[in-house]
Amino acid sequence: MSIAHLNQKAPEDYAYPAAIAALQSLFGERVLTSNAIREQFGKDESFHPSKWPHAVIKVHTSEEVQQIVRICAEHKTPIIPHGAGTSLEGNIAALKGGVTIDTSEMNNIVAIHNEDFDVVVQPGVTRRQLNEYLRDTGMFFPIDPGANASIGGMASTRASGTNAVRYGTMRENVLSVEAVLADGSIIRTANRAVKSAAGYDLTRLLVGSEGTLAMITEITLKVYPIPEAISAAVCTFESIEDAVNSVIQIIQYGIPIARVELLDSLTMKSINLYSKTDYAESPTLFLEFHGSEAGVQEQSELTEEITSENGGSNFSWTSNTEERNKMWRARHDVAYAGKLLHPKGEIWSTDVCVPISRLADCIGETRKDIEESGLLAPLVGHVGDGNFHLLLLVDHENESEVAAAEALHRRMVIRALEMDGTCTGEHGIGYGKIEFLEIEHGAAVTPMKMIKKTLDPDNLFNPGKIFGIL
Amino acid sequence: MSIAHLNQKAPEDYAYPAAIAALQSLFGERVLTSNAIREQFGKDESFHPSKWPHAVIKVHTSEEVQQIVRICAEHKTPIIPHGAGTSLEGNIAALKGGVTIDTSEMNNIVAIHNEDFDVVVQPGVTRRQLNEYLRDTGMFFPIDPGANASIGGMASTRASGTNAVRYGTMRENVLSVEAVLADGSIIRTANRAVKSAAGYDLTRLLVGSEGTLAMITEITLKVYPIPEAISAAVCTFESIEDAVNSVIQIIQYGIPIARVELLDSLTMKSINLYSKTDYAESPTLFLEFHGSEAGVQEQSELTEEITSENGGSNFSWTSNTEERNKMWRARHDVAYAGKLLHPKGEIWSTDVCVPISRLADCIGETRKDIEESGLLAPLVGHVGDGNFHLLLLVDHENESEVAAAEALHRRMVIRALEMDGTCTGEHGIGYGKIEFLEIEHGAAVTPMKMIKKTLDPDNLFNPGKIFGIL
């Protein structure tokens, strides 16, 4: 998807005066239509420019969502579900305008079931909010994309993050959702049993559907006991290959590692600049172990053995909470840190995921390609899953830089697909990766489109996303 | 679903001479139409009587499946995918006749990716066949319904078994499937990356769809390193409540237990009769721990502490492989053992699953109900998941026994649903639990039916199952 053809506003071709009027008669001044609001809600954290909705409504209940959906359905007006706006492929852009339903104030924690290790939340609850709320219960919710995303948004993009190697992604951790369908009906996809063989798995169908099939209004999540012991470690390597090979061996040995993140030299440099740290500016692994005191000790020792055999040095580990938090904060701030490397650069964040046996090749070839391109592009990854990110630093005024970045990006994605990988491990398709969805899934895109067509025949929900059907 | 209204053969109303002739012209004598074969393939291991298909074809390749689907589509003839025939809700019965596609000879292991911990198999591969094949690689496939089911069948019913508490169900362990759709197209639902955010999760949609949406022709599965250490334990209790409370505490403590099975007194009695063992005939837990030597030791000790606090006695543990295998064989033979308790009894095996906080109540009330009913019904369960089975021993000639069993069964399922549980944790709906699917899912059944209708508009695949649409 070329950046060039995107324009700033919702196309003038679209207008929904009847829907807006009907919404205003019901919601009054809560129907927000100022340009500042429209611009803000048309833009996520990606490089994609803002595509404005015609109106934004901040909802509080499932019934309000239902009312909006019914009005929009009657007037064939697009509905764009909105969480924290931290998506990375333009997933919340209003490609043909319409009404953005903002869930940021629909953020109650509805229920905590301590004995069952699950919680029920409204979609606007953010992951940090949830973990702060949970802290006193001895439980935590592990899925952590870098940003403070909303649970509804994370469910919609099938998000994951640094803990996925141990705890899975949103696919594994959403037990059930409540959602409003295009016909205005409210469904609940499952009950709270941890497993079921009753009927089609609508939970997993909605998780990752990026708001194109329904609007999620409540989510039941698995949570976990805070481990008895947590320790973290940093280890540096002379080459990326050595670091990646260590990870492969850690996984293959069956060490139940909780986090294992790769950061290349450029990333470490940006971290030192941004977070005022003094890490070695070499390929680095950030690791974390969860378990009993003895278990964590055993995991760290085995891991250190593996990293040493692969030339890793300065393996330093800590169970100090403050040091650990500082390290993971630095990791999560990588997207912001990268900007310091290129004064005019905006960050184009992208990700792919491959089988772990191909990870060293995929990263190696990509690094080589970056060097040849002359671009600045820190590489970081949830490498235990075979998933890595490139932060392309691009001056959007510089046409040759944009063209070089587009070409590099395309080569990286095609390379991952040729290695039996996926065009996105955790960001989703949005409207930035539509062409790659087709290449990746081939004939399987047809049944996906059939499902979209039957559940949302008027293409109300988040039109243009995933399949490019406007 | 009353047993009484079922009859033995495919209704005379249905006949597919044109489809059969077209198949014969392509497959010759491989189109099997003898009554003995038809009867055999119309019956699974449930109490549901045989419903005969008109023909059975044993396939070997995806292309053969495609040819059959195209012919059946042309002549609007039902297609019933068939694995090992070990399902428990009539899932493979030919309710309106048609063509059964038997995959028992489509049982090649296509690829093993040691470094990625995945294998690619044809659908007829059975779980024991796979594990025998894997043994020398140091890996294993954990999902183990009692019977030696086929992987295709297990994917279709979203099966699980004793290891699910640690390793998940087929939902978590199928990475990808290849399938033939009603239009004859062959799709692959995903690549081999362990996670992806690219498009709708068709893998999870087909897993658990019981052959009603497509015919699965290849499955990519996660496999696991055989743990460094495995130990098993048996512990007896004075009451079921004490056993269940132990399990709840084990889970809540975060002990990564690999298996934890509850067997009631009657089950233990049947095991002693069938397996010539001398277990105490009291409520019992069978447990298994996986990990490092030290980890397994730690898990066993913590578990013993918890069981003792709950009045458990005779906690005996072993790392002897032979003893362990004998114990799990006895557990898996429970369905056959039960028959010895009732000379004229056939087994009606059913299961429900509830949030673990409700498990003690659900089992307690069910036990009381069994006692009041006068029926014999051993209760066993994958209790770490909140899942348990009742083996109703019923003489089908005895009308009052059948009526009592139906009433008891219904009360158990409704009880589980009222506790926010599911009408089946791992057997599927088949045609035995259709009414409960509706009660459980309510409005969510509508989008399920819409998906069925759009992907299979002529209702070719396994008609009558899950929704009762013939």
B426 and chain A in contact, CB less than 8 A = yes
Using the Cα atoms of residue B22, residue B26, residue B28 and residue B31 in order, give the sign of their dihedral: negative
Q: State pLDDT tens for residues A284-338.
A: 999 999 999 999 999 999 999 999 999 999 888 888 999 999 999 999 899 889 9
More reliable by pLDDT, B336 or A258 = A258
pLDDT score of A252: 84
Q: At residue A421, what is the residue type? A: G
Distance (Å) from the alpha carbon of B324 to chain A's nearest alpha carbon: 22
Give mean pLDDT, residues B230-254: 93
pLDDT score of B448: 98
For chain A, the average pLDDT equals 94
Give mean pLDDT, residues B36-55: 94
Asked if A205's CB is within 8 angstroms of B385's CB, the reply is no
pLDDT beyond 90 at B252: no
- Return residue ranges of chain A for CATH 3.30.70.2190: 229-335
Q: State pLDDT tens for residues A136-147.
A: 999 999 999 989
| Domain boundaries B109-225, CATH class | alpha beta
B201 and chain A in contact, CB less than 8 A = yes
Pick among 3.30.70.2190, 3.20.20.370, 3.40.50.300, 1.20.1050.10: CATH of A229-335: 3.30.70.2190
Instruction: Identify the residue among B188, B195, B349, B423 best suited for mutation to test binding to A, counting A beta carbons within 10 A and taking the highest.
Output: B195
Q: State pLDDT tens for residues A392-415.
A: 999 999 999 999 999 999 999 999
Asked if B157's CB is within 8 angstroms of A195's CB, the reply is no
B207 and chain A in contact, CB less than 8 A = yes
* 3-state SS class at B255: coil
Which A residues, 170 through 189, put their C-beta within 8 Å of a C-beta on chain B? 171-172, 181, 185-189
Q: State pLDDT tens for residues B346-378.
A: 999 999 999 999 999 999 999 999 999 999 999
Instruction: Identify the residue among A117, A196, A222 best suited for mutation to test binding to B, counting B beta carbons within 10 A and taking the highest.
Output: A196
Write down the architecture of domain B342-437 according to CATH.
2-Layer Sandwich (3.30)
Residues of chain B in contact with residue A168, where contact means CB-CB under 8 angstroms, are 172
Cα atoms in the Cβ-side hemisphere of radius 13 Å centred on B51? 30
pLDDT score of A20: 98
Give mean pLDDT, residues B51-61: 97
Write down the architecture of domain A342-428 according to CATH.
2-Layer Sandwich (3.30)
Distance (Å) from the alpha carbon of B220 to chain A's nearest alpha carbon: 12
Residues of chain B in contact with residue A357, where contact means CB-CB under 8 angstroms, are 113, 115-116
Asked if A192's CB is within 8 angstroms of B421's CB, the reply is yes
Query: B6: pLDDT confidence band, cut at 50, 70 and 90?
Result: very low
Asked if B186's CB is within 8 angstroms of A197's CB, the reply is no
Residues of chain A in contact with residue B224, where contact means CB-CB under 8 angstroms, are 254
Query: A7: pLDDT confidence band, cut at 50, 70 and 90?
Result: very low
Residues of chain B in contact with residue A421, where contact means CB-CB under 8 angstroms, are 191-193
Asked if B422's CB is within 8 angstroms of A196's CB, the reply is yes
Give mean pLDDT, residues A357-363: 95
Torsion of CA A173, A178, A180, A184, to 10 degrees: 150
Query: A2: pLDDT confidence band, cut at 50, 70 and 90?
Result: very low
Residue among B144, B138, B170, B302 nearest B233 (CA): B302
pLDDT score of A197: 98
pLDDT beyond 80 at A446: yes
Query: B5: pLDDT confidence band, cut at 50, 70 and 90?
Result: very low
Phi, psi of B325 (to 5 degrees): -60, -40
Which B residues, 382 through 401, put their C-beta within 8 Å of a C-beta on chain A? 385-387
Closest-CA residue in chain B for A177?
Answer: B444
Asked if A197's CB is within 8 angstroms of B158's CB, the reply is yes
Write down the architecture of domain B17-104 according to CATH.
2-Layer Sandwich (3.30)
Distance (Å) from the alpha carbon of A281 to chain B's nearest alpha carbon: 29
Q: State pLDDT tens for residues A100-131.
A: 999 999 999 999 999 999 999 999 999 999 99
pLDDT score of A157: 98
For chain B, the average pLDDT equals 94
- Supply the DSSP symbol for B219: E
Q: State pLDDT tens for residues B321-343.
A: 999 999 999 998 998 899 899 98
Query: Per-residue DSSP letters for B295-335?
Result: HHHHHHHHHHHHHHHTT-EEEEEE--HHHHHHHHHHHHTHH
Give mean pLDDT, residues A241-256: 91
Which A residues, 265 through 304, put their C-beta within 8 Å of a C-beta on chain B? 292, 294-295, 298
- Return residue ranges of chain B for CATH 3.30.465.10: 109-225
pLDDT score of A438: 96
pLDDT score of B12: 65
- Return residue ranges of chain A for CATH 3.30.70.2740: 342-428
pLDDT beyond 50 at A5: no
pLDDT beyond 70 at B179: yes
pLDDT score of A12: 66
pLDDT beyond 90 at A222: yes
Residue among A167, A142, A158 nearest B168 (CA): A167
